[in-house]
């Protein structure tokens, strides 16, 4: 039995459906629905090592190796676009320019995956109970 099959057999049917649909390019919401999973739960299980491993294997089988992804990112970081300039319905000139929107998106993506940027949704903030407890402690300390 190969290592790939061992990983596959550790997953539930719903987990395999989730991964299959994500690898096919469906959104997390759509993949969760197809797999019969709550979207929040699906997001949580994607953090599990065995799920990450299976997802990585699926991407690699689809041709999305680390090198292929790196090559695509590099292409997009250096993206260009052609601008056409017209007058009275006729193209008068065209120029190749930097595709700054694509370059900015990819730069943001790379800094995020390298750990230089953290989504606000990933920052844990104390709950109201913890905040009230801290305020009460501070008041007691000041007295």
The average confidence (pLDDT) of the chain is 83
Give me the pLDDT at residue 89, please. Answer: 92
Give me the pLDDT at residue 90, please. Answer: 94
- 69 and 55 in one domain? no
The number of residues in the chain equals: 143
Which tokens sit at 89?
Answer: 């319905």
CA distance 100 to 85: 18
- 88 and 69 in one domain? yes
Using DSSP bridges, classify how beta strands 90-98 and 80-87 pair: parallel, antiparallel or unpaired.
Answer: antiparallel
CA distance 80 to 53: 34
The answer to whether 19 and 50 are in contact (CB under 8 A) is no
Domain count, the chain: 2
- 86 and 39 in one domain? no
Among 63, 92, 114, the domain-final residue is 63
Q: Write the DSSP string, 57-75.
A: HHHHHTT--HHHHHHHHHH
Give me the pLDDT at residue 122, please. Answer: 58
Within a 13 Å sphere around the CA of 54, how many CA atoms are in the beta-carbon half? 25
Decide if pLDDT at 1 tops 60: no
Decide if pLDDT at 20 tops 50: yes
In tens, the pLDDT along 76-90 reads: 999 999 999 999 999
Among 63, 79, 114, the domain-final residue is 63
Please give the residue range of the domain that contains residue 9. Answer: 1-63
Give me the mean pLDDT over the 89-100 stretch.
Answer: 94
The answer to whether 110 and 83 are in contact (CB under 8 A) is no
- 115 and 73 in one domain? yes
- 139 and 77 in one domain? yes
Specify the pTM: 0.50
């Amino acid at each position: 039995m190969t290592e790939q099959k061992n990983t596959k057999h550790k997953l539930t049917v719903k987990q395999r459906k989730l991964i299959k649909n994500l690898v096919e390019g469906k959104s997390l919401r759509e993949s969760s629905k197809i797999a019969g999973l709550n979207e929040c739960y699906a997001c949580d299980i994607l953090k599990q090592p065995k799920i990450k491993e299976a997802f990585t294997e699926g991407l690699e089988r689809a041709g999305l190796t680390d090198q292929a992804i790196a090559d695509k990112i590099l292409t997009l970081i250096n993206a260009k676009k052609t601008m056409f300039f017209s007058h009275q319905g006729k193209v008068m000139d065209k120029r190749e320019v930097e595709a700054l929107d694509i370059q900015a998106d990819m730069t943001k993506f790379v800094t995020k995956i390298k750990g230089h940027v953290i989504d606000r949704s990933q920052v844990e903030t104390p709950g109201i109970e913890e905040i009230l407890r801290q305020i009460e402690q501070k008041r007691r300390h000041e007295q």
